[in-house]
Amino acid sequence: MKKTAYQKELVIKTTQKRRGVDNSRKEVRKIQSWLTLFSIPNPGSGTATEIDGDFGPATERAVKNFQIFHNLETTGIVDQELFSKLCFGLKEAFEKPLLNTNLRDLMVEVAENHLHQHPFELTINGESNSGPWVRSYMDGNDGSLWFWCMGFAQAILDQAASALGKNFKTLMPLTYSCDTVGNTGLEKGLLSRYQKIRQDPTIIKPGDIFLIQKSRLDWTHTGVIIAVDNDVIETIEGNTNHQGSRNGVAVMKRTRSFRRSKIDVFSIEPLV
């Protein structure tokens, strides 16, 4: 795999605890981030806490609540073993053994694996588009300016292609820009415009990448197509929300009408 930034999100350098002599604000923020992320699908866990890098009484209580939730010894201390439990979903998303052997099927499988682990962004130091999931998709970058929908789509493509020993960068450059991918598709003859798609929906195939067109050479959002049904595509996309925003907060499965939206499609066929 080319996108390996996620590996840094799976480890802490030293054990962290309240009044710990080896405490690191960076490491504590990682712990607080995962505690808060755990609370999103588990709102009754009591693990949501401020992400400020200070391992104070609130963080200690949140750690204990996480330990109680998992029937673990209630120490309030985070060593690597406990941290691995905190970030298990990320490791599962990126490293779960894959079953399929066809690239298109792998694209769907990988995207669904990520979806099932509830990837979600955080707001840290007043900056949205932050947290371990965003950094994993964006090669270590995060913050309000780092819209991460293309980072997510390329992470899925990278993981699926790598399972077959293929390099996704032979198809498109590593980028966070929908415009770069759109223009690459035009140059290589791999991007089908929405007008053509409406005339011939058979062009769309699972595993392809959709791009929402704002104007002829301007695209604002992207994701992975996992199914096509009549006039509708089913997608899994990052940095979206229930309204389909291009700057949302999570990875979500959505349905989109290609009859009503200007949806261009980038074909992954050369890698299949």
User: What does the pLDDT read at residue 243?
Assistant: 84
Mind listing the pLDDT tens digit for each residue in 49-63?
A: 999 999 999 999 999
pLDDT at 246 over 90: no
**Residue 61 structural domain:** 5-86
CB-based contact 272:102 (threshold 8 Å)? yes
> Is there a single domain that holds both residue 142 and residue 237?
yes
User: What does the pLDDT read at residue 134?
Assistant: 98
User: What does the pLDDT read at residue 242?
Assistant: 86
| Total domains in the fold of the chain | 2
> Is there a single domain that holds both residue 251 and residue 213?
yes
> Is there a single domain that holds both residue 221 and residue 109?
yes
What is the pLDDT averaged over residues 27-54? Answer: 97
pLDDT at 125 over 90: yes
pLDDT at 248 over 90: yes
> What are phi and psi for residue 211, nearest 5 degrees?
-135, 125
The larger pLDDT score, comparing residue 131 to residue 245, is at 131
Within a domain: residue 191? yes
CATH number at residue 117: 3.90.1720
User: What does the pLDDT read at residue 232?
Assistant: 95
> Is there a single domain that holds both residue 71 and residue 120?
no
User: What does the pLDDT read at residue 65?
Assistant: 98
CA atoms within 13 A on the CB side of 141: 12
> Is there a single domain that holds both residue 139 and residue 245?
yes
Within a domain: residue 93? no
How many DSSP H helices and E strands does the chain contain? 9, 8
d(CA 177, CA 215): 15
What is the pLDDT averaged over residues 139-163? Answer: 98
Q: Is the pTM of this model over 0.75?
A: yes
> Is there a single domain that holds both residue 191 and residue 152?
yes
